[in-house]
Amino acid sequence: MDYLLVKYLHLSCVVISIGLFVLRGTLQLQSKPWRQWRLLRVAPHIVDTVLLGSALWLVWRSGQYPFVEGWLTAKVLALLAYIGLGMRALGKNTSQTQRLPLFAAALLSVTYIVGVALTRSPSWGLL
């Protein structure tokens, strides 16, 4: 498989995944019943599965591995934070007062991930 093709697939999934998260989070903050729409329940899982698969393929193909490359380690750790914060922000048992801070923190986490990916630096090249 062509490296650039998989890279563009990965980047497309990133955009779609973040877009779906923002949409679901916004609907959740507005107390809209987004879980009634099958597309918003199923699509994120499909997109995130392709995203993870393409990420693993790119890691294998490039020979750059987390816990060896500092920037990839930072991305993996920030991804775990993003997943945890996002799950809590969209969770059924999360109070309405906790949603906005959790959603904002998840968005900050994903912003950090994108910044690390673009700069290939855990500090975004600022240090």
> Tell me: the pLDDT tens digits for 26-75?
999 999 999 999 999 999 999 999 999 999 999 999 999 899 999 999 99
Q: Is 84 left (phi over 0), alpha (psi -120 to 50) or beta?
A: alpha
pTM: 0.92
Reported confidence tier of residue 102, pLDDT bands at 50, 70, 90: very high
Give the whole-angstrom CA distance, residue 77 versus residue 73: 6
Asked whether residue 13 carries a pLDDT value surpassing 80, the answer given is: yes
Mean pLDDT, the chain, as a whole number? 96
DSSP-assigned beta bridge partners for residue 69: 66
The answer to whether 88 and 94 have CB atoms below 8 angstroms apart is: yes
Query: 1 pLDDT band (50/70/90 cuts)?
Result: confident
